[in-house]
Homo-oligomer: A and B are copies of this chain.
Amino acid sequence: MGELVLTTYDWVPEFPRGYVRDLRARWALEEAGLPYRMAYTPFDNRPADMLAHQPFNQVPWLTDSGVNYFESGAIVLHIASKSDRLLPADPKARADAVSWLFAAVNSMEPAIMPWFILSLSPEKDSGAMSIFAGHLQQRLDRLEAVVASRDWLAGAFSAADIMTADALRLADRLGGLSAHPACKAYVDRATARPAFRKAHADQMAHFAAADGLRAG
């Protein structure tokens, strides 16, 4: 098996810690039990060759024996394809898991982000906010019915739950799940998994150690 190397920033400010998207990849790697190593790229002065790995000048990216993946969805799907723990073998369940993984990145997260961004801005009580808050509530209403009826989106826990639960964590961070208790319980269920806890602790420890290096 080739070497898996996951790259994230060498340091980030306090606010994004615990939410930088290498978390999703770490979580998937821990669930899959695949060996990997971390690599770091400067947050402050981003080298020009970073664009060859990630064309939007962001993190994370993953290399698998030198083959480069960017976008957390593509990275998690690739990790999932290497393990029977993150994608079901049954064709119907597998199609469901891949569909839900895309729902996380193209239906749920895009409904959460505008609401999240405006919640932290001077526009938090604006007319635009009511448009995006309404859209988010519609999406959460649909998801609520699903996760009230089953623990995981595609039957067994899958890569779709990593992507969905991590997107929902952002909404939860600002109280956005308060009217959707089944969504909140789903996030709590997902983040109680040992693989999430390890991934989260590892990210937090890395950035905390980076503070020490900066101060030194």
Total interface residues on A, using CB and 8 Å?
A: 48
Chain B neighbourhood of A143, CB < 8 A = 55
Q: From known contacts A78-B95, A114-B132, infer whether A123 and B121 are also in contact, taking CB-CB under 8 Å.
A: no
A131 close to B (CB within 8 Å): yes
Distance of A171 from chain B, by nearest CB (Å): 14
Assembled-state Cα–Cα distance A126/B101 (Å): 33
A74 and B99 contacting across the interface, CB-CB below 8 Å? yes
Q: From known contacts A114-B114, A131-B123, infer whether A74 and B55 are also in contact, taking CB-CB under 8 Å.
A: no
B74 and A101 contacting across the interface, CB-CB below 8 Å? yes
B127 and A127 contacting across the interface, CB-CB below 8 Å? no
Q: Assembly of this chain: how many copies? A: 2
> 1/0 contact trace for A116-136 toward B, CB 8 Å?
011001110011110110000
A68 close to B (CB within 8 Å): yes
Chain B neighbourhood of A132, CB < 8 A = 114
Distance of A40 from chain B, by nearest CB (Å): 20
A57 close to B (CB within 8 Å): yes
- Which one of B56, B92, B106 lies within 8 Å of A68 (CB-CB)? B92
B103 and A55 contacting across the interface, CB-CB below 8 Å? yes
Chain B minimum-CB-distance residue to A130: B123
A92 and B117 contacting across the interface, CB-CB below 8 Å? no
Chain B neighbourhood of A71, CB < 8 A = 99, 102-103, 106-107
A interface residues, Cβ below 8 angstroms from B: 51, 55-57, 64, 66-74, 77-78, 91-92, 95-96, 98-99, 101-103, 105-107, 109-110, 113-114, 117-118, 121-123, 126-129, 131-132, 139, 142-143, 145-146
